[in-house]
Amino acid sequence: MPSSHTSPDARRDLETISLIGFVHGVSHFFHLLLPPLFPWLMAEFGLSFTAIGVTMTVFFVISGIGQAAAGFLVDRFGAARILAIGIGCFALSGVVLYFANGYAMLIAVAAIAGLGNSVFHPADFTVLNRHVSQPRLGHAFSIHGLSGNIGWGLAPIFMTSIAAYAGWRYAALGASLLALSALALLLWRRSALASPLIEEADKTVSSNASIFDFLTVRAVWLCFLFFLLITSAFGAIQNFASPILQALYGLTITSAASALSAYLFGGAGGILLGGFLARKGEQERLITAALGTAAALAILLAIGILPGWSILPLMAAIGFCTGIAGPSRDLLVRRAATARFGQAAFGRIYGFVYSGLDVGLALAPAVFGQLMDGGRYSDVLIGIAVLQTLAIFTALRVSKTI
């Protein structure tokens, strides 16, 4: 007779998804360790916007390079150990920030935090792919993406609230304590992340191939390009949506910021729905429909003739459509990883492919910043639509090569 209790497999999946979701949220929290404190740090150390902005460039450059390398370490030593090192780097970055006495130490903070951030995608996705049952993978990727958005959302509130009340140094210390709490939880429940035995067929594939053979697979490079494109589009919106909306539609700073928040919350809702849709298969079609709609809405926004009241729901819709594509994107990478190398290469393939995220986030401010300086606000939105369209074609090519 049917059991009224949750099956052991379901409980195990839930624990793994929850633990990985939490630590992924912490990693996104530390993306914003420094930016919310920029006003305090600039005043404390007499820095310009350009100088303080270099800290984030350092963060993403270190993270991108480290992410490609971290995948090899995950495959060699296991995800749990590498995640612990990453979270430890976050805790250390908060302590270094607490004791910072100049610009050089801020750069060191960014480098340490970037190094910590580099391990999460290869480690997280290795755990999810190896531990979570196939029918729940779409939901697992959905929760993984949603937890990252929550981390982004909580960081500014956490950091600025403590900084306003007790000073920026105590905000840094608070962030460090959060990382230590995450590390304690990870060590306590590390059995949930213990590397399972890899199928014998996958071991054979791995033993017969060089650890760098994945770089000869076209689908892997296409996945890297796909991530670079969609993240460049996201970086453009994240960095410049507020001034664009102020210039094109005369929105106040508060209204423009609310529109950006609507985009991010819409993305979170899209990720949740995308997890249900992705499990039905045909991920490339879902990506095409979702990103195609987002691109069309971005072009509509670029025209500059919409009524002011429509901007907030339109931004939410763009975020929603972009979010829907997220879980399908992650499943597409899984297919590319397993098609040639089985489970044995999850870490290094995910590490390399997801380093495209950091490249995109690093490139977007430089490329689109020039358009912003020239007052070409509509062109930025059109550029976002072009990037999303190119990402669609890239995803379709991935599906044909695996």
Domains 13-191 and 213-401 share a fold: yes
Per-residue model confidence (pLDDT) at position 8: 65
Closest of 230, 362, 233 to residue 301, by C-alpha: 233
Tell me the pLDDT tens digit for each residue of 294-330. 999 999 999 988 998 999 999 999 999 999 998 888 8
Per-residue model confidence (pLDDT) at position 45: 96
Per-residue model confidence (pLDDT) at position 195: 59
Fold of 13-191: Growth Hormone; Chain: A; (1.20.1250)
Question: What residues have CB less than 8 Å from 294, skipping those under 6 apart?
Answer: 318, 321, 322, 385, 388
pTM, two decimals, is 0.78
Domain ranges of the chain: 13-191, 213-401
Residues 131 and 16: their CA atoms lie apart, in Å, by 7
In SS3 terms, the chain reads as CCCCCCCHHHHHHHHHHHHHHHHHHHHHHHHCCCHHHHHHHHHHHCCCHHHHHHHHHHHHHHHHHHHHHHHHHHHHHCHHHHHHHHHHHHHHHHHHHHCCCCHHHHHHHHHHHHHHHCCHHHHHHHHHHHHCCHHHHHHHHHHHHHHHHHHHHHHHHHHHHHHHHHCHHHHHHHHHHHHHHHHHHHHHCHHHHCCCCCCHHHHHHHHCCCCCHHHHCHHHHHHHHHHHHHHHHHHHHHHHHHHHHHHHHCCCHHHHHHHHHHHHHHHHHHHHHHHHHHCCCCHHHHHHHHHHHHHHHHHHHHHCCCCHHHHHHHHHHHHHHHHHHHHHHHHHHHHHHHHHHHHHHHHHHHHHHHHHHHHHHHHHHHHHHHHHHCCCHHHHHHHHHHHHHHHHHHHHHHHHHC
Residue numbers in the chain where pLDDT is lower than 70: 1-8, 192, 194-210, 281, 339, 341-345, 402
Per-residue model confidence (pLDDT) at position 200: 44
**213-401 in CATH: which number?**
1.20.1250.20
